[in-house]
Amino acid sequence: MVDTEYIRSQFPILKTVINGKYPLVYLDNAATTQKPLAVIQALTDYYTNCNANVHRGVHYLSSLATDMFEQARQEVKDFIRCGDDGQVIFTKGTTDSVNLLAHCLAKTFLSKDDTVLITQMEHHSNIVPWQIASQDYGFTLDYIPIDNNGELVLDKLYKHKDLDKVKVLSLTHISNTLGTVNPIKEITRFCRQHNIITVVDGAQSIAHQIIDVQDLGADFYCFSGHKVYAPMGIGVLYGRKKLLDKTDVYQGGGEMIKQVTMEKTTYNDLPYKYEAGTPSVADAIALGKALQWFKSLSVSDVTAYEDSLLEYALQRLDEIDGIRIIGNAAHRSSCISFVCQGIHHLDLGTLLDAMGIAVRTGHHCAEPVMQFFSIEGTDRISFAVYTTRQEIDMFISALQKAVKMLR
């Protein structure tokens, strides 16, 4: 059971008052989650008591910081159920992780005769890096389309005309715009049978369901800390060790080397091979604390609670004439995108903000989705463990007022 009153007491920012009148109703969690006191305190504690660079230092503060940094890595491994054959690499976030993979996989495994598949529902961060890599390395980039429900047309994978040439599939676990939950286990099972490397963008799934990367079967899984109650600027790339061992390096510099001479460089062991330069130590430690805090709530309870919020919000939105929900997948989670007939999404979002309701407006870095549905953008609400039914009611009330004003 989720005790929202107790949980909300741990988020000071939720007490914010907008325009001196309206309590903040924060429904922009797909963009970033707020941070609990445990995470804020972890940042303060690090810089107050143990600020030092990690690894190789023999002094007390460096040893302490290193222990805390590596303990955070262990927290990530435990949270995503990494297993002995997996590795956890700290990155700046999902975008950084995908850029790393697009470059390294293309350089190591792909030729000009090969194909990489993405999907039409991807965030730009899982489109643009592959487009750049395609231009740089010459492979073909293709995509799996979506249907009118916002679900993948998976026959375009299963019956791909050049299936023997498909070497990598990179796709989102949960769409940041449609809320569609993709059948990752089914997809990765098929890809393993056809020797296709799978990359999963977990930015929108990490805070909404139990993540077991071994059970999902993905070769790589990426997420951002700020989507799961941790600071911005820290993220994770999980990968299978056998693939990471074979894959060429991404960036050069300190930490990722064993030895450097003026003639050549020998690279470090995993995971440090991919962690060039001074890491974001405090943010990594705070990520570990965030995952520890989140896990203490029972992730399965959080999933059930948020699913009930989603169902309730959809029911309430159905009460308002002219609202069109974008995406109607059989399996969905975490967010709702909608348009209101005759009203621009930005105008609607602006009026909602004036009444204390924080929503996201625009194309949500998923322009191909907008193009498919022939719209410029949407208003999007997205939930977190601290969201309440009362807040959904407050949102609906404000939405009704805004619609009346704009029509």
Distance CA 396, CA 403 (A): 10
Strand 378-382 relative to strand 360-362, pairing: antiparallel
Distance CA 302, CA 207 (A): 9
Backbone phi, then psi, for 331, in 5-degree steps? -120, 115
Task: Give which of 356, 353, 295, 247 is closest to 24, Cα–Cα.
Answer: 356
Query: How is 170-193 classified by DSSP, letter by letter?
Result: EEESB-TTT-BB--HHHHHHHHHH
Distance CA 284, CA 91 (A): 9
- Quote the longest CA-to-CA distance of the chain: 71
Query: In this structure, what token pair is assigned to residue 351?
Result: 């009026």
E strand or H helix at 42, and its extent? Answer: helix 37-49
- List, in order, residues 6 or more apart from 115 with CB less than 8 Å away: 139, 140, 141, 142, 160, 162, 165, 166, 167
- List, in order, residues 6 or more apart from 65 with CB less than 8 Å away: 46, 50, 51, 52, 53, 54, 57, 281
How many Cβ atoms sit within 10 Å of the Cβ of residue 215? 13
Task: Give which of 235, 248, 225 is closest to 279, Cα–Cα.
Answer: 235
Single-letter amino acid code for the residue at 56: R
Catalytic residue among 191, 335, 340, 365: 365
> Is 365 one of the catalytic residues?
yes
Strand 115-119 relative to strand 140-144, pairing: parallel
Q: Catalytic residue numbers?
A: 365
